[in-house]
Amino acid sequence: MTTYYDLYDSPVGELLFLSDGTALTDLHMTAGKYVPASSGHWQRNSALTVFEQTKRELDAYFAGKLRGFTVPLAPRGTEFQKRAWIALTKIPFGETRTYGQQAHAMGQPTAVRAVGAANGKNPIGIIVPCHRVIGANGTLTGYAGGLHNKAFLLKLEGIL
């Protein structure tokens, strides 16, 4: 199976997009943690429709003109991780939640650490907004793209 990729220069650094040809499967800050290693099956395709849509939506988001993304997503992970990532997409633009609130929203209030681990493995940063999750005491905690980028995104959304 071919995986398509493209790169995008953003205000938070270079972003790597991956796709199965139909949906976005990954969006990573290339200077962050958990960036997948290049594979011999990767093929660059800047004109792929899903990449063009992702770029348009990110351009609008970074310009302060977009509050919600519509690009089709297909993240790969465990069932628990996918549930955690779906919960992230329900956090409204300009709002934050704690890991405990996210776990409670998932119906698993004691799974706070597991939620944190799942968020850390979020393969579609920014669009699946794990940057909106903060520590119980209101501090910025863990972000694979770096806390400075988490702060940037929260400021962009008017939170900080």
Alpha-carbon dihedral sign for residues 47, 50, 52, 58 = negative
Cα–Cα distance between 144 and 131 in angstroms, integer? 9
pTM of the model: 0.94
Per DSSP, the residues of 71-137 read S-B-----HHHHHHHHHHHTSPTT--EEHHHHHHHTT-TT-HHHHHHHHHT-SBTTTS-GGGEE-TT
What is the band of 36 on the pLDDT scale with cuts at 50, 70, 90? confident
pLDDT at 34 over 90: no
Cα–Cα distance between 108 and 100 in angstroms, integer? 9
Question: Looking at the annotation, which residues are catalytic?
Answer: 130
Give the pLDDT confidence score for residue 57 in this predicted structure.
Answer: 98
> 11 or 2, which is more confident?
11
- Residue 53 C-beta-side C-alpha neighbours within 13 Å: 15
Give the model confidence (pLDDT) of 49-96 as tens digits: 999 999 999 999 999 999 999 999 999 999 999 999 999 999 999 999
Give the pLDDT confidence score for residue 45 in this predicted structure.
Answer: 94
Query: What is the chain's alpha carbon radius of gyration, rounded to the nearest angstrom?
Result: 15
Burial class (CB within 10 angstroms; exposed 0-12, middle 13-18, buried 19+) of 130 = buried
Give the model confidence (pLDDT) of 132-159 as tens digits: 999 999 999 989 899 999 999 999 999 9
Give the model confidence (pLDDT) of 93-107 as tens digits: 999 999 999 999 999
